Amino acid sequence: MHKYELVLLRLLAKKGVPLRPAEILEVSGINRDSLFWAVENLRSKGYIDVHRSIEKYATITEEGKKYAESKLPELQLLDKLAANGPIEISSMRSSEDQISLKWAKEKGFIAFQNGKMVLTDKGANAQKSGIEEDIVLKELYKNPEKISDFEAKYASSVSQLEKRKLIIIGSKNGISSVEITPKGLRAAEEEQEDEEAINTIDRRIIASRAWEGKKFKPYDISLDVEKQYIAKQNPLREAINRIKEIYLSSGYMEATGPIVLPAFWTFDSLFVPQDHPARDMQDTFYLSNPSSISVDNPRLLKKVKKAQEEAWHIGWSKEIAEQAVLRTQTTSVSIAKLYSAEVLKYNMPIKMFSVGRVFRNENIDPEHLADFYQTDGIVIGRKLTLANLFDSILRIYKPLGVKIRFKPSYFPFVEPGVEVQVYYEPKKKWLELGGAGIIRKEITDIVSSEIKVLAWGLGVERILLAKDPGIKGIYELYNNGIGWLRNKKAVIL
């Protein structure tokens, strides 16, 4: 009999009562996987009875670990109030401040007076004595396997910690206890350890050929072992890396640019008139600090002003062009590179791309976010056509394994323009990815009258939505729960 089986059998015979796996691990010296192997082997031989149950376990999130090692944010705020007195509400600007403020107010620990927050009697007691949620979080951090005991005793606190995404509760089939049978008692007395059979193959055994002429202990590869979690990247990060890889392998240069910039680069430089609805507060995020960013290129400003006034027959304001905004598309990166004329030093055709975050004041639903990623590409040449545009986009998206089609559409900075769509297999419909076209001569002539520029700006998250039926909405890609990522099936792009 294998030594692990014999150790377990003799331990159960000696104790004479059912033992939990944790109790056996504590005194037997057997590791977890070896124990469960021995349990299944002995059960199959009728030497032990196995009592099964559904076991719950807790996983502490990264945010939960941070608070478990210090204090919950609302308690940290109470400590500040107790030490320093009332605090100006306007000074609570950081995300951590906002979290502490939310929970302290919700629990009645603070009150507001003349623009300041003060401790309530309930808050003063909590600051001195602590709160149950904080105690439970610290205990679970030390003993996550005891979640069932904590749920029974502190159900409300455990539920609140789970809602706050400080812990994730999971369940799995487990063994509650094992008990020796009469047949097992006889075996514990009669069986001896098999010295001849080889249990583990290592380098020494292979090098010395000590395995020759020996028996090998049998292994049941169908037995359950402790689940192992491989390291994974968020699917969105994997998609971004894959898209970059395709662009670079196709001869594109990567360009980058700021996400906060003057409206000039988001709109004016792209021939969007200053009274266009897309520039309204309903679509664009305007900043209050800074409220404006200067454009230090008088020659370019003059040319853009002239092109705008001649085409749209409206006045053009430098103040409007210098309003500070969060960029609404990554085309702002490409157009800045084009206007700099640096790229023209390369041999044509010149190909560039960028991948980055963009911001639009959208209503959030399964297909829309206010903060998302976009990939932008441009090809600069002399005799480029719409066929070249379609070919360029298809060459980028074909390796991703998605269906792409083009639909005529209007965008202020391209003529002709097309909407690029991707087929959304789970819902059997086409989703808009973004816009594309040949950049208007009013824009490219500012750089050179001899060039044509193909351009596209397409969303990244919708590629994964279309490709992966397991993603119900693109907001899932921003889920920071470790449990979601561990159980997420990989999607090959």
* Residues 236, 161 share a domain: no
CATH number for the domain spanning 237: value is 3.30.930.10
Asked whether residue 217 is assigned to any structural domain, the reply reads no
User: Final residue of a domain: which of 169, 188, 221?
Assistant: 169
Instruction: Give the residue among 51, 468, 1, 65 at the shortest CA–CA distance from 236.
Output: 468
Q: Considering only 69-73, 223-227, 459-463, which range has the smallest mean pLDDT?
A: 223-227
Helix (H) or strand (E) holding 337: helix 331-340
The tens digit of pLDDT for each residue in 210-258 reads 888 887 776 667 766 667 777 788 889 999 999 999 999 999 999 999 9
Say if residue 362 is in the same domain as residue 419.
yes
pLDDT greater than 70 at residue 194:
no
Report how far residue 109's alpha carbon sits from residue 106's, in angstroms, rounded to the nearest whole number: 8
Residues 357 and 261: their CA atoms lie apart, in Å, by: 13
Tokens describing residue 306: 């002239």
Same domain, 318 and 270: yes
Rounded Cα distance between 453 and 439, Å, is: 6
- Tens of pLDDT, residues 98-114: 899 999 999 999 999 98
Percent of the chain with pLDDT over 90: 48
Q: In this structure, is residue 226 part of a structural domain?
A: no
390's enclosing H/E stretch is helix 386-397
Q: Are residues 340 and 451 in the same domain?
A: yes
Give the tokens for residue 248: 């670079």
Q: Within 10 A of 77 (CB to CB), how many other CB atoms are there?
A: 27
Find out whether 440 and 414 touch, Cβ atoms under 8 Å.
yes
Residue that is last in its domain, among 283, 307, 326: 326
Q: What is the pLDDT of residue 341?
A: 67
Average pLDDT for 161-171: 90
Specify the pLDDT at position 223.
Answer: 63
pLDDT value, residue 492: 67
Same domain (yes/no): 433, 286: no
- pLDDT of 190 strictly over 90: no
Task: Dig out the tokens for 439 from the structure.
Answer: 């950049």
- Residue 213 domain flag: no
Contact in structure between 318 and 300 (CB atoms under 8 Å)? no
Q: What is the pLDDT of residue 250?
A: 94
Distance CA 393, CA 449 (A): 25
Q: How far apart are CA 404 and CA 308, in angstroms?
A: 33
Give the start-end residues of each E strand in 114-183.
Answer: 116-119, 167-180
> Which of 125, 99, 122 is CA-nearest to residue 110?
122
SS (H, E, C) 70-104: CCCHHHHHHHHHHHHCCEEHHHCCCHHHHHHHHHH
**Domain CATH number, residue 157:** 1.10.10
Cα separation, 481 vs 162, in Å, equals 11
Which amino acid is it at 399? P
| 219 inside domain | no
**Start-to-end CA span in the chain (Å):** 49
Is 456 within 8 Å of 331 (Cβ atoms)?
no
User: Which of 290, 308, 326 is at the close of a domain?
Assistant: 326
Q: Spell out a b/e string for 174-209, using b for 16 or more CB atoms within 10 Å of the CB, else e.
A: ebebbebbeebeebbeebeeeeeeeeeeeeeeeeee
pLDDT of 353-406, one tens digit each?
999 999 988 888 888 888 999 999 999 999 899 999 999 999 999 999 899 999
Question: Are 29 and 51 in the same domain?
Answer: yes
**Is 467 in the same domain as 346?**
yes
11 plus 94 within the same structural domain: no
Both 83 and 13 in a single domain? Answer: no
Beta bridge partners of 458: 375, 434
In a domain, 93, yes or no: yes
Alpha carbons 380 and 392: distance in angstroms, whole number: 12
pLDDT at 259: 93
Average pLDDT of every residue of the chain: 88
- Does the residue 42 lie in any domain? yes
What is the pLDDT at residue 32?
A: 84
Number of domains into which the chain is organized: 4
Whether pTM > 0.85 for this model: the answer is no
For residue 416, what are the domain limits? 231-256+331-493
Q: How wide is the angle at C-alpha 434 spanned by C-alphas 433 and 437, nearest 5°?
A: 130
Residue 399: its pLDDT value, please?
Answer: 92
Q: Would 145 be classed as within a structural domain?
A: yes
Q: Are residues 268 and 311 in the same domain?
A: yes
Q: Is the pLDDT reported for residue 31 higher than 80?
A: yes
301 lies in some domain: yes
Q: Is 133's pLDDT higher than 80?
A: yes
Checking if the pLDDT of 302 tops 80, the result is yes
Q: What would the mean pLDDT of 294-317 be, rounded to a whole number? A: 88
pLDDT the model gives residue 356? 94
Query: Is it the case that residue 166 has pLDDT exceeding 90?
Result: yes
Beta bridge partners of 353: 254, 377
Tell whether 96 and 160 lie within a shared domain: yes
Work out the number of other CB atoms within 10 angstroms of the CB of residue 328: 22
- Residue 193 sits in a domain of what CATH number? 1.10.10.10
When computed from its CA atoms, the radius of gyration of the chain, rounded to whole angstroms, is 32
Tell me: do 116 and 177 sit in the same domain: no
